[in-house]
Structure 1
């Protein structure tokens, strides 16, 4: 039975990945800070799919948390989903430096270290995959969140190129606005986001798994966002910044 480790597994895209992979016959390692919520998710997956789930409560912005998940990955998994993340409601100059550093540690250092912990075993077995959850914000200019997600995309593409010629796949997943707890937990005002831009976590995961099977290195779920990214690449950065400020993060 294949094993998948998912960070940020208690809600949103992470929970949708857990549900999909449990239905597909994976045993799961569920990672998040809240051990109680992890246990609830594991029980729900057991009742719904008969899935075996290991829970690992860990805060990935701490050295202790990172090391705990690294150790588990070195024991061997078939799929790693680096999904944990958060955002800030304010502008760059309004956010305390320590909070920006926490974001970079979670979005960049944790993704790098966990990917590095998982890949040697996958390469040795010549099978496995890593999905690094970035954001469509990676292609636009809006503070350190966009910058950190752009790093995730570039990093994933680079590692995917290094895995060429093997059966190990690495993919950056770049969803747009998804109806999850993300914006509420970040105290973000979403009233300016047009309704047609919202996606469901389940559809994002379905497209992600399809793209992974096809060998896609950067997955942008939904035709609307694919079009937005293509148009965005043709526009001046100053105009993109203005649009980003109007719509939101």
Structure 2
């Protein structure tokens, strides 16, 4: 096992922890005895989750922060250390997507997405990893998507952001070899979390485009993600169908794949 042992002055930082995959990852870590620091914009949801997780007998901290704000990101590590805690695990889960063709996009919304999905990952890794490496222990779990393995017409910026997260985290893993710190990329397929509705399409529309066999619950995604982090795996793809689809999409000629993806995406209907 590669995760540091839990201790009262150690914490696992989970961004985007107010709902969905982030909340489930926090639950998985707490059940393993790890204290957690929950980070998101929604204070009320974080506090409710914190109350639940304290029932596991672990220390839980809540930090409200908008991670598209560079100043908020810059202050996060200091806020954690100011509470007498050492960040032993970093889970970069916060993220969102825009929807529709780039030619009809809102530049402000597109840049905001990249700020959260890409820049926040780079920023927080750059701030938290030095301490982990100096201590000789720690783990980073960056949440990408199976969109990282293929183009995504209709969500071009989101798909490209997840390609970045996958490549970036794999590079981190290479750099961290022998340091006692690991880096894992979690690449879920479709999950019922409300993520799609926030992007602009319903779960029903997504299910019409993606077969039921590909859907995995947020609880299962979190379970296999944390297990993969604990085992030091490079990439974790929950669900057999998603693993097969990711492998196939990487070797399918783009001339064949792109028309299929374009026709099926609800954002281009």
* Partner residue of 1:243 out of 260, 265, 268: 260
After TM superposition, the runs of 4+ consecutive aligned structure 1 residues lying more than 4 A away are none
Structure 1: gaps (5+ residues): none
Residue 26 of structure 2: aligned partner: 18
| Aligned-residue offset at 1:223 | 1.4
Q: Map 1:192-231 to 2 at 5 A.
A: 192-231=209-248
Find the partner of 2:192 among 169, 179, 195. 179
Q: Is the 8 A contact 1:76 1:118 kept in 2?
A: no
Shift of 1:73: 5.8
Alpha-carbon offset, residue 68 of structure 1: 2.4
Which of 120, 140, 148 is the matching residue for 1:138? Answer: 148
User: Hey, what does 1:81 align to over in structure 2?
Assistant: 91
Which residue pairs with 2:122 in the alignment? 112
Kept after mapping to 2: 8 A contact 1:73/1:117: no
- The residue aligned with 1:123 is 133
* 232-241 or 53-62, which deviates more: 232-241
Q: CA RMSD in A?
A: 1.6
TM-score, normalised to structure 2, is 0.87
Q: Secondary structure at 1:60's aligned position in 2?
A: coil
CA distance in 1, matches of 2:179, 2:38: 27
Q: Is the CA contact 1:86–1:103 (under 8 Å) kept in the aligned structure 2?
A: yes
Deviates more, 1:83-92 or 1:61-70: 61-70
Rounded to whole Å, the distance in 2 between the matches of 1:195 and 1:201 is 15
Distance 1:91 1:195 in 2: 26
The correspondence for 2:173, drawn from 143, 155, 160, is 160
1:41 Cα offset (Å)? 1.1
Unaligned runs of at least 5 residues, structure 2: 1-6
Residues matched between the structures, number = 248
- Structure having greater relative contact order (Cα 8 Å, sep ≥ 6): 2
